[in-house]
Structure 1
Amino acid sequence: MIKNFHGQTLDHLGQAIVSGRYPPETAVPPEPVLCEELGVSRTVVREAVKSLVAKGLVSTGPKVGTRVLPPQQWNWFDPDVIVWQSHAGLTREFLRDLQELRRVVEPAAVRIAAQRRTADDIAAIEAAFAGMKHAVEQGGDYVKHDLQFHQGLLKASHNRMMVQMSKALSALLRTSFEISTTRKDGPRLSLPLHREVLDAVVAGDAERAERASLVLIDGARADIDLVLESRKPLPRLDAPARRLRAA
């Protein structure tokens, strides 16, 4: 999809900040300079800066202009920030933080889901698993269904904060899934691990579900480590998800 002037300007400035072109604690060029450089109006630049403020990348104030904030203050749950980071390069630190976050949040959510899941929840997760299985066997978009599977588990917890977390985690989870699927046979080998999580949730066995979730997450971490060690190019999150070929 072609973005409008606001979207293009936001992407340009966001990528410049995340890549380090505008380092933390430095000022972004003033409006007249950005207008001339990007060929847009002051209104467009101002709206883009407002969006950057909302994402925690910059602060504004009289006499100090627009200044870049340290990465610790950026909203790492924002999909745009994740995409800009993928352009700049997915670092080991970023991927470590992601895996640690998953290991804290998901097993706890899955444990609760095993106790609170409804028939509709199970049907949605089963449908996502069927999509994953079809992609492995017949080819297709495995990542989309993998994401739906994990989102379904978080939603099945029926904890409003965890449900909101599922939306925030989407871009982060896609990062993990995109990388792990680049490993040969990674999706095929992970299918039984996903099935074990689902079976435990269906059975209402909270402890088994939590253990199975940890095994699944740790397996994804191992896949990511292998991909990083191989020095293969990492996926770009602004591109369509990688589709599997038929087995």
Structure 2
Amino acid sequence: MIKNVSGTTLDLLGAAIVGGRYAVGASMPPEPLLGEELGVSRTVVREAVKSLVAKGLVTTGPKVGTKVLPPDAWNWFDPDVIVWQSQAGLTREFLRDLQELRRVIEPAAVRIAAERATPADIAEIEVAFAGMKKAVEQGGDYVAHDLRFHQGLLRACHNRMMVQMSKALSALLRTSFEISTTRKDGPKNSLPLHRAVVDAVIARDADAAERAILVLIDGAREDIDTVLASRRRLPKLDMPAPLLRAA
């Protein structure tokens, strides 16, 4: 997706902060200087800074200017922040936090989904699973269907906070899925694990659903550990997800 001048300016400044160009606690250059450096108006820079404040990356105030906040203050549920981190490099700490978050949220979510999922919810999850299966067998965008699968499970909880979290988790989950798909036969081997989750939700078996999703999450963790140990290049989330080749 091609971004406008404001979006591009925000990306440049956000990536510079996350990448360490501006140190934590340091003041960023004044808006006129940033505008001159980036070739944009002061108004564009001001709007970008407002967005950075909303994302928790900086704080502003009279006489103190714009100061960079520590990573603990950043909104890690914001997709832009995740993309900027992927550009700077996905760290072991970041990936550890992601896996721990999944282990807390998704097992609880599938338990609720097993109790509340409607026929329409099941149909949506089945469509996503069919897309994953087709991508494995015929080639295609496996990651997009995998995301749709997990988002469908969260929406099937019919909990407004869970629904909002499904949107926030998308960029985080994509990180995990893209790494997993770099392993030989990773998507193919994960299909029966996803199927077990769907079948347990359909059967209204909350215990089985929780066990199945934990197997899936722990398998993803092993995939990530293997890729990290191999020192292979990690995915860049500002680029399209790689397509699978036909089996």
TM-score normalised per structure 1: 0.99
Give SS of 2:173's match.
helix
- How many angstroms does 1:2 deviate by? 2.3
| Counterpart position of 1:195 | 195
Separation in 2 of the partners of 1:163 and 1:41?
37
Deviations 1:19-49 (A, max 9, x none): 1110111111111211111111110010000
Which consecutive unaligned segments of at least 5 residues does structure 1 have?
none
Which consecutive unaligned segments of at least 5 residues does structure 2 have?
none
Deviations 1:85-143 (A, max 9, x none): 00000000000000000000000000010011110000000010000000001100000
Equivalent residue runs for 1:65-214 within 5 Å: 65-214=65-214
Separation in 1 of the partners of 2:131 and 2:212?
20
Deviations 1:157-176 (A, max 9, x none): 11111111101100000011
Separation in 2 of the partners of 1:201 and 1:141?
25
Aligned residues: 247
Separation in 1 of the partners of 2:194 and 2:31?
50
Query: What residue identity is the alignment partner of 1:197?
Result: V
Separation in 1 of the partners of 2:166 and 2:139?
26
Query: What residue identity is the alignment partner of 2:31?
Result: E
Query: What residue identity is the alignment partner of 1:182?
Result: T
Separation in 2 of the partners of 1:226 and 1:155?
31
| Counterpart position of 1:33 | 33
Query: What residue identity is the alignment partner of 2:126?
Result: E
Deviations 1:199-247 (A, max 9, x none): 0000000000001111100000000110111111111111111100000
| Counterpart position of 1:218 | 218
Q: Does 1:48 align with 2:48?
A: yes
| Counterpart position of 1:18 | 18
Q: Please give the root-mean-square deviation of Cα atoms over the aligned residues, in Å.
A: 0.6
